[in-house]
Amino acid sequence: MHTRARKGYLMNDSQLRPALMEVGGMTCDDCAHHVTQALLAAGAGDVSVQWRTGKARFSWPVGVSESALSAAVAGAGYRPGQLQVVKAAEPLYRPGAGSDYDLVILGAGSAAFAAAIKATEAGFKVAMVEESTLGGTCVNVGCVPSKALLRAGELAWTAGHHPFAGISTTSGPVDLQKLVGQKDELVAMLRQVKYADLVSDYGFTLIPGHAHFTSPSAIIVDGKTIAAGTFLIATGASPSAPPIPGLSESGYLTSTSALDQTRVPQRLAVIGANAIGLELGQFFLHVGSQVTFIDVAERIAPFEEPEISAALQRVLVSQGAQVYTSASVLSVHRSGAEVVVELEANGEKAHVVAEEVLVATGRRPNTAKLSVDLAGVELDGRGAVVVDSELRTTNPRVFAAGDVTGAPQFVYVSAYEGALAVDNSLLGLGRPVDLSGLPRVTFTMPQVASAGLSEAEARLGGHEVQVSILPLRAVPRALVNHDTSGLVKLVAESGTGRLLGASMLAEGAGDVIQAVVIAIRHGITVGELAGTFHPYLTMAEALKLASQTFSRDVSKLSCCAA
């Protein structure tokens, strides 16, 4: 699947250039071997060929011509493409120099697979080590299973609470066991198609087992030492719980175990009212639980705009939830089939009686068993791997990406960082992490979506700002939906009108926010956004209307008025 060879030269590093050639016509391991031998015979060194990706990577000596290398490949019966000199990192790492692999990745989630795909496509020899299940958090216990359940919960709730006259629908008891079974089938399918199948498709090596470092340049997996030119730590993060007296003894659900519940609890207490707690708490609310949210912050969704938090709390309360904010949980104890949560909120003590407690207060990086100290890799106080702007750790041969670094815990950030780590560790491109305009979505009903800076963040960053807040009752799509419980908030730079950030509480907000991401990254102003076509009777039109409010009263406009 992957052929590599080296040829010695009596020359210094300045006489070698790392190069990449596209090679057409390869269909098997023998093809890769033939191309390798042809390039070696023509004078190339450190040859690494991937037939699946059609790429040959090698060291190109100064005295060897491009035409000679191309002729050698053509003479072997294959189609040489353009030869590219690849910028090398400093100090230059030459593939295969005393190593089993060019890149060894610890973990098998989104960051890991993005890195493995990028590196193998570039012609490097890659291994991935995983002691548990392929796919990491997102496909197994995060995005995919949770959103599948959330959608089912939305449908169950809507069936019993739709706003349209003349239509009679009802929502009966939810068979959670069947729902969880369907979710598990989806997860298994995607894990196979989007992860397991890709190992053979791209041709990198999957090594099952637990890995830990033994030195700055080697790991050990189930007793076998593996050396590599570079390493990527992409082991993700796991749910963590605060040290609440009695919590461990009483038992509790996490964001992982909650997805496997086969019975709807009559009453559920949710400790933590950020994205995960809100999503899962509302799911159980929608399928029949009496839900109480408890958060130490002064408002739910504490990282969102305060107007968004307040509007979302009104929605949850209208659906039957109870909410405690500015709340400290004093203790948890179990009494038979009930769990009692003792708390203090706004100076007053209270207690919540529930069948189950869901703890959604954060996640801790998975670094405890990696022996990173033996590799000279520094961790911060929470156990996250410390990286610089290019994802390099305190060991220049070790990079880290995704949740294990304490980065924003979104699958698209992890995948972006995994690919970027390859750009910087193997390709030497020196690209810093750029999260400008980063979107986030909380999949409540209605959804919360944000991108860029909040008003407070913008002011703290020294910006003079203008703010627009548009209630959904001013948006035609919300009116025809008979659901005007949300809003849009835009933050623009005073003077220039450049859009700095946006937040939205509305149906489909997660889809609409992508336009904001593009606007922020390309420096678009609210005036330009207002002058852009937005299809009528879509929620995207809310962006146009919110942009128009900076200069006019949109309540005085006809439909679609420019």
Catalytic residue IDs? 26, 28, 31, 78, 138, 143, 559-560
Instruction: Report the chain's terminal Cα–Cα distance, integer Å.
Output: 58
> Which residues share a beta bridge with 57?
20, 48
Helices marked H in 251-364: 275-286, 306-318
For residue 385 the two structure tokens come to: 């791997």
Give a three-class secondary structure readout of 468-519.
EEEEHHHCHHHHHHCCCCCEEEEEEECCCCEEEEEEEEECCHHHHHHHHHHH
Tokens 């989007």: give the residue. Answer: 194
Residue type, 4: R
Please state, in angstroms and rounded to a whole number, the distance separating the CA atoms of residues 547 and 346. 37
For residue 222 the two structure tokens come to: 């189930």
The count of residues in the chain is 562
Strand pairing report for 487-493 and 499-506: antiparallel
Question: How many other C-beta atoms lie within 10 A of the C-beta of residue 27?
Answer: 11
Question: How many other C-beta atoms lie within 10 A of the C-beta of residue 363?
Answer: 20
Local structure of 301: helix, strand or coil = coil
The answer to whether 392 touches 424, Cβ cutoff 8 Å, is yes
Closest by alpha carbon to 7, among 35, 39, 51? 39
